[in-house]
Amino acid sequence: MNEDFLTPDADLLEMLDGVFSSYREAHAPLAGRLTLDREFWAELDELGLVRLTGAEDKGGSGASWVEGRALVEAAVRHGVRVPAAENDLLAGWVRDAIGIDGVDAVSNAVSTVAIVDGNGVAKNVPWAGEADTIVVVWLVDEGYLAAEVPAARVRLTPGENMLGEPRDTIAVELDSIIGSPVAAETVAELRRRSALVRAVQVSAALECSLDLALEYVPVRVQFGRPIAKLQAVQNLLADIATETSLARSSTDSAFTKALVEGWSAEGLDFLVAVARSCAGHAASVVVRNAHQVFGAVGTTREHRLHEYTRAALAWRGEYGAVRSWDLQVSAAARNAGPGGLWALIAR
Amino acid sequence: MSGTANIMPPASLITDAEMELRAEVRAFLAEQRAGGRRVWAVDSWLSSWDEDFSRELAARGWVGMTVPVEYGGRGRTFKERFAVVEELLAVGAPVAAHWIADRQIAPSLLKFGTEEQKRAYLPRIAAGESYWGIGMSEPNSGSDLASVRTRADRVDGGWTITGSKVWTSGAHRAHAFIVLARSAPLDTDARHAGLSQFIVELAQDGVEVRPIVSMNGDQHFNEVFLDGVFVPDSRVFGEIGRGWQQVTSELGFERSGPERVLSTFPLLTEIVQNVAEGRLDLDADLGRLVARVTGLHQMSMAVSGALQRGESADVSAAVVKVMGTTTEGDVADYADLLLGDGSDVTSELTRLTTRAVDQRPGFTLRGGTSEVLRGVIARGMGLR
Ligand SMILES: Cc1cc2nc3c(=O)[nH]c(=O)nc-3n(C[C@H](O)[C@H](O)[C@H](O)COP(=O)(O)OP(=O)(O)OC[C@H]3O[C@@H](n4cnc5c(N)ncnc54)[C@H](O)[C@@H]3O)c2cc1C
């Protein structure tokens, strides 16, 4: 099988690194609730990054999720918080999949997506307060409906995750909007994509923690030698590397399966749950060990470590707590039937 | 720029062709299990010795798979062997008899053996009839393998070997092993020089195998005494003086396989069975373990993909072994925490758990301890 298409374009990677690093150099991250820098968003739009994976005939750049993932990872690496994944990989995808026309807004409008309950309420909707439109999905007797709603028509109660990223509660008057029907499978796909986006972000944050630690230990000298030479410190790093590898491999496997066999591939739900469980538990070890390696300086606002460690902790519980993913894996194992456990894992 | 991006090879999915091969093996194993005459066990690759089964597998082409056809093998790929081996381990099939020969002796012979040695040994290994041990550890040389004291002295037409090897798995039933010995005096500035490997048949004069009884009363490993054993030049393995490089390569084969993840998989299956029958509650910790085992399967697939492409995988294999052996031990402990005098679980679960708990300490020792492997990972990241 030729899997070259799984490697993102090198020029794009370089461009992404350039864009995010220069933005980061000019803009130190702020504390408190984050807002979206519209100027930067406009810059991303000019570069074709705001709807990177959208179809070209719908104003997108026609890239694949491989590139979409690379963008999300670059943002993590440089500690730049933007709703790129929510806007492009989730809201943008679902809008195009359903065929609803975007609200006639400017091309660089910011969108997010929410699955609301029967009362039109959804909690922890990422970036809702900063969005121009929200793609709302809800269930009625006949099945799922969706509509893209201007943010102004949504009642919003602000909330944030521990990074300060908006995670708002929204309430929509469902009676006042007309929805287009959505296949249940499309909603299932949306859930898979959402969950996997967070696994990608957690894995990237863990890798960055490892990289930072690897840069630090050869230069930090105690007892007359670099702490890199202490076996106890080496063990901390070896375990960071091991857990990070698990997070990456399990995320990669689900991702690769989705790209090769499609987002409705049999067994993908299981692989997504596995990735979320593995990445979630990996974060426990990586965060603990990375902070241990850095000593006191790693606990300061000024140091960059928290941009990765706190991010990993914040994201690992979004679109489902780690424990809920563990339980989903348990249930899949039980339901696999006698002798079915291995067939569930190796297929 | 990313540290782990360099450690772990990219994900490798099971291809349709591999899936077909796996299905064949599964069908065969299901048939065998229905027949009920074999023991299905945890840690079966170390301790479930069944020569008939080894020959049956070989007859189906599942032993010596990567050995070229001209040496009696099947000329299959590394990844195909990986698929078959995973299937066998997942059910705890009795594969111990041919395990070491198939896993590390055959590929080492192909890499370092003479033409005559390949012709002499490979066809019988691939037939599931030739069983081997590993002659590395000694009473005073465990992790520090370069310190071996077994001596090889030059004599007319060959070498004589004197010393003792220990923890030699299966030596009481195997036919031969490859002995690591010092063939030149120790140079403390170049400890890895002056080591060589020799093929010793266990029935030879001067070889004495003494059983070592494990803590649960079983016997799977031995001490092997070598008292002036004569090894002709034709049974020198590889090059004199290159023993360290060769043994490192052999350890590469020994460390990178799925047996470093799956030793307790039959127990995990039985736990799930008990949950499905309502004998045990479903909890999140079980999911965490199943997820980890799945992630480890994916990591070992990635490693085997790299080996297939001829890339070096020492560090990624060490990563899998450290986490895999810990996790397979965690499965044993998870089960043990569930069992008590009030539990209503299957007797099979009790049997497998007891066995797994007894075998567990060995998981993170054999083939290089976790502590030593963390050192390998640290070195791979440039810290040593
Ligand atoms: C079930 C089983 C089967 C085996 N089969 C075989 C076989 O067939 N053939 C064979 O040759 N050998 C075999 N072995 C032996 C195995 O390879 C050794 O047990 C292993 O290499 C460790 O050596 P040791 O037991 O002497 O422990 P030691 O090396 O004495 O280690 C004791 C402790 O010290 C730690 N330690 C040692 N050095 C370091 C270091 N540099 N840094 C940090 N910690 C360190 C170890 O990690 C360990 O925790 C087998 C072992 C087991 C358990």
- Distance from the Cα of A190 to chain B's closest Cα (Å) equals 22
Q: Of A182, A211, A233, which residue constitutes the final position of a domain?
A: A182
Q: What is the rounded radius of gyration, in angstroms, for the C-alpha atoms of chain B?
A: 21
Q: To the nearest whole angstrom, how far is the Cα of B295 from the nearest Cα of chain A? A: 5
Residue type at B337? L
Of residues A6, A333, A343, nearest to B286 (C-beta) = A333
Residue B48 Cβ contacting ligand 1 at under 6 Å = no
From the CA of A165, how many Å to the nearest CA of chain B? 25
Kindly state whether residues B222 and B149 are assigned to the same domain: yes
Residues A81 and A208 in one domain: no
pLDDT band at A1 (very low <50, low <70, confident <90, very high): very low
Asked if the Cβ–Cβ distance from A334 to B272 is below 8 Å, we say: yes
In this structure, the answer to whether residues A153 and A132 fall within a common structural domain is yes
| Residue A2 included in any domain | no
Q: Report if residue B1 sits inside a domain.
A: no
B168: Cβ below 6 Å to ligand 1?
yes
Q: Which residue has the higher pLDDT, B192 or A8?
A: B192
Give the tens place of pLDDT for each residue, B64-93: 999 999 999 999 999 999 999 999 999 999
Q: Which of B84, B107, B130 is the last residue of a domain?
A: B130
Residue B221 is predicted with a pLDDT of 96
Atom 40 of ligand 1, nearest CA residue: B372
Contact (CB<8Å) B295/A274: yes
Q: Give the closest of B11, B269, B282 to A249, CB-based.
A: B11
Residue A199 reports pLDDT greater than 70: yes
Q: What are phi and psi of B307, to 5 degrees?
A: -65, -40
Q: Which chain B residues are within 8 Å of A252, Cβ to Cβ?
A: 10-11, 298, 302
**Rounded average pLDDT over B336-354:** 95
From the CB of B140, is ligand 1 less than 6 Å away?
no
Residues B3, A238: C-beta atoms closer than 8 Å: no
pLDDT in the model for residue A102: 56
Mutate one of B272, B308, B369 to test the A interface: name it (highest A CB count within 10 A). B272
A299, A335: one domain: yes
Q: Show which of residues 143-202 on chain B sit within 8 Å of chain A, judged by CB atoms.
A: none
Residues A17, A158, single domain; the answer is yes
Mean pLDDT on A98-115? 78
Residues B20, B41, single domain; the answer is yes
A30 pLDDT more than 90:
no
Residue B82 has a pLDDT of 96
What is the spatial distance between Cα B159 and Cα B145, in angstroms, rounded to a whole number?
Answer: 21
Same domain, B267 and B317: yes
Same domain for A107 and A197, yes or no, is no
With respect to residue B250, please indicate whether it lies within any of the assigned structural domains. Answer: no
**Closest CA of chain B from A260, distance in Å:** 9
Q: Are residues B140 and B231 in the same domain?
A: yes
* B2 → closest Cβ in A207, A335, A339: A207
pLDDT of residue B227 exceeding 50: yes
* Domain edge (last residue) among B210, B242, B274: B242
Please give the residue of chain A at the shortest CA–CA distance from B3: A211
Mark whether B163 and B234 lie in a shared domain.
Answer: yes
DSSP character for A58? Answer: G
Expressed in angstroms and rounded, the spacing between residue A140 Cα and the centre of ligand 1 is 63
Cα gap B194→B384, rounded to integer Å: 24
| Count: domains in chain A | 2
Residue A103 banded pLDDT, cuts 50, 70, 90: low
Mean pLDDT (whole number) for A318-339:
94
> Are both A32 and A177 inside the same structural domain?
yes
Q: Does the residue A4 lie in any domain?
A: no
The CATH number for A118's domain is 1.10.540.10
Do A96 and A239 lie in one domain? The reply is: no
Residue B295 has pLDDT above 70, yes or no: yes
- Report the C-alpha gap between B288 and B302 in whole angstroms: 21
Question: Is the residue at B251 inside a domain?
Answer: no
Contact A341 B374 (CB under 8 A): no
Query: How far does the centroid of ligand 1 lie from the alpha carbon of residue A17, in Å?
Result: 45
How far apart are the C-alpha atoms of B8 and A253, rounded to whole Å?
Answer: 12
Centre of ligand 1 from the C-alpha of residue B369, in Å: 6
In testing the pocket of ligand 1, which one of B49, B321, B358, B365 has its CB within 8 Å of the most ligand atoms?
B365
In ligand 1, which atom is closest to the CA atom of B141? Answer: 26
Task: Identify whether residues A168 and A116 lie together within a single domain.
Answer: yes
With CA atoms as reference, the chain B residue closest to A327 would be: B284
The pLDDT, as a whole number, for residue A6 is 81
| Residue B252 belongs to a domain | no
- Residue A240 belongs to domain spanning: 185-345
Residue A176 placed within a domain: yes
Query: DSSP secondary-structure letter at A298?
Result: G
Q: Note whether B73 and B146 are same-domain residues.
A: no
Assess if residue A275 is contained within a domain. yes
User: Is the predicted ipTM greater than 0.85, yes or no?
Assistant: yes
Would you say residue B4 has pLDDT above 60? Answer: no
> In this structure, what token pair is assigned to residue B66?
């990567």
Residue A247 forms part of a structural domain? yes
- Minimum-distance ligand 1 atom for the alpha carbon of B171: 8
Q: Quick one: pLDDT band at residue B347, thresholds 50, 70, 90?
A: very high
Q: Do A278 and B268 touch (CB under 8 A)?
A: no
Asked if B295 and B311 sit in the same domain, the reply is yes
Read off the CATH number of the domain in which A307 is found: 1.20.140.10
Mean pLDDT on A23-37: 93
- What does the pLDDT average to over B225-246? 98
Residue whose CA is closest, atom 43 of ligand 1?
A: B371
Q: Which domain holds residue B331?
A: 257-380
CATH number of the domain residue B331 falls in: 1.20.140.10
The finding on whether B372 has its CB within 6 A of some atom of ligand 1 is yes
| B152 in the same domain as B56 | no
Q: Is the pLDDT of residue A194 over 90?
A: yes
**Which letter does DSSP use for residue A82 in this model?**
-
Å from B93 to nearest chain A CA? Answer: 14
Encode pLDDT of A130-175 as tens digits: 999 999 999 999 999 999 999 999 999 999 999 999 999 999 999 9
Mark whether A332 and A217 lie in a shared domain. yes
Instruction: Determine, yes or no, domain membership for A118.
Output: yes
End position of a domain, from candidates A182, A200, A224:
A182
Does A136 lie in the same domain as A194? no
Task: Give the confidence band of A323 by pLDDT, cuts at 50, 70, 90.
Answer: very high
Whether the per-residue pLDDT at A100 is higher than 90: the answer is no
* B359 CA closest ligand 1 atom index: 1
**Pair (A214, A332) in one structural domain:** yes
Rounded to the nearest integer, the mean pLDDT of chain B is 95
Task: Answer yes or no: do A246 and B299 touch at CB < 8 A.
Answer: yes
Mean pLDDT of B3-7: 64
> Once rounded to an integer, what is the mean pLDDT over residues A226-247?
98
Kindly report the three-state secondary structure assignment for every residue of chain B: CCHHHHHCCCCCCCCHHHHHHHHHHHHHHHHHHHHCCCCCCCCHHHHCCCHHHHHHHHHCCCCCCCCCHHHCCCCCCHHHHHHHHHHHHHHCCCCHHHHHHHHHHHHHHHHHCCHHHHHHHHHHHHCCCCCEEEECCECCECCCHHHCCCEEEEECCEEEEEEEEECCCCCCCCCEEEEEEECCCCCCCCCCCCEEEEEEECCCCCEEEEEEECCCCCEEEEEEEEEEEEEEHHHEECCCCCHHHHHHHHHHHHHCCCHHHHCCHHHHHHHHHHHHCCCCCCCHHHHHHHHHHHHHHHHHHHHHHHHHCCCCCHHHHHHHHHHHHHHHHHHHHHHHHHCCCCCCCCHHHHHHHHHHHHHHHHHCCCCCCHHHHHHHHHHHCCCC
> B5 CA distance to ligand 1 centroid (A)?
30
Q: Which of B242, B266, B286 finishes a domain?
A: B242
Closest partner residue to B297 among A256, A327, A346, by Cβ?
A346
In a domain, B225, yes or no: yes
Band the pLDDT of A50: cuts 50, 70, 90.
Answer: very high
Q: What is the mean pLDDT of residues B140-166?
A: 98
CA neighbor of A283 nearest in space, from A333, A255, A234, A318: A318
For residue A241, what is the nearest residue in chain B, using CA coordinates?
A: B4
Flag whether B91 is in a domain. Answer: yes
Locate tokens 């059983």: which residue? B211
A120 and A154 belong to one structural domain: yes
Q: Do B198 and B95 reside in the same domain of the chain?
A: no
Note whether residue B6 is domain-resident.
no
The residue among A182, A199, A214 that closes a domain is A182
In total, how many domains does chain B have? Answer: 3
When CB atoms are compared, the residue of B4, B10, B374 closest to A235 is B374
Would you state the structure tokens that stand for residue A102, as one six-digit string?
């975007």
CATH number, domain with residue B167:
2.40.110.10
8 Å CB contact of A248 and B4: yes
Q: Is A3 domain-assigned?
A: no
Per the domain annotation, does A212 fall within a domain?
yes
d(CA B328, CA A5): 35
